[in-house]
Amino acid sequence: MGYLTTQDGTQLYYKDWGSGPAVVFSHGWPLNADAWDGQLLFLAQQGFRVIAHDRRGHGRSSQSPEGNDMNGYADDLAAVIEALGLTDTTLIGHSTGGGEVARYIGRYGTGRVAKVVLISAVPPIMVQTPDNPDGLPLAVFDEMRAGLADDRAQFYQDLAIKFYGVNRPGAEVSDGILHQFWSWSMQAGLWNAYQSVAAFSETDFRDDLAAFDVPTLVMQGDDDQIVPIKNASMKTAQLVSGAQEVYYPGAPHGITATHQDQVNQDLLTFLKS
């Protein structure tokens, strides 16, 4: 575990466990690298080197006033990969982190990348536009920004309910999972979290996905209340040639926690393929 400093002076915290083929994880909004611990521990025990960083403005990374957009996030991911000298790397992104991974490939290509996994990821584009009529109305994201500005602590408690599908009949999600979501979220700077809403909702990743030329796995729960599956993973799979698809019936957005064992096994199968 350590820190690196980007070209604009932002300090990025990262964890680096195990040895073997490198797997780099990009987390969802507004969390941090700890959200991946269930995957990091499992894969490190299976002979992989696992790396995850806190996005700028989140967790233990510094709360930079600049670069809180997908280009900035992709550049930070590149800084981690380059600082650690990684090659033949598998990139795994959840939610906003999936957008970060897609934009990294759009900006830097796949010279250092062997495989990609997008989990409940925001590409191709979340917001409704004339050429994306199935997207969510901009008002949805305006309401998120208003909630953050008004009472972010309560906003994050409410968000956790949908994130993990606690409002669905039969849901089994511990209080601990909900509390850790809130704790991680509150570590994100308000300015950074606020700016990030536009980054994950309004960025168009279709050109980035067109640059994918390595084996790609798309994973998502089909009851995702945060990132609608029909306008996300299913469309992404159509845009990435040869993409593999794994969908979890009745599963929510936060499948890395609610379906941890199943996700871990599917990741291991893909990594070893």
Q: Annotated catalytic sites, by residue?
A: 95, 224, 253
Instruction: Annotate 204-249 with DSSP letters as a single string.
Output: --HHHHHT--S-EEEEEETT-SSS-GGGTHHHHHHHSTT-EEEEET
The encoded tokens of residue 18 equal: 């195990």
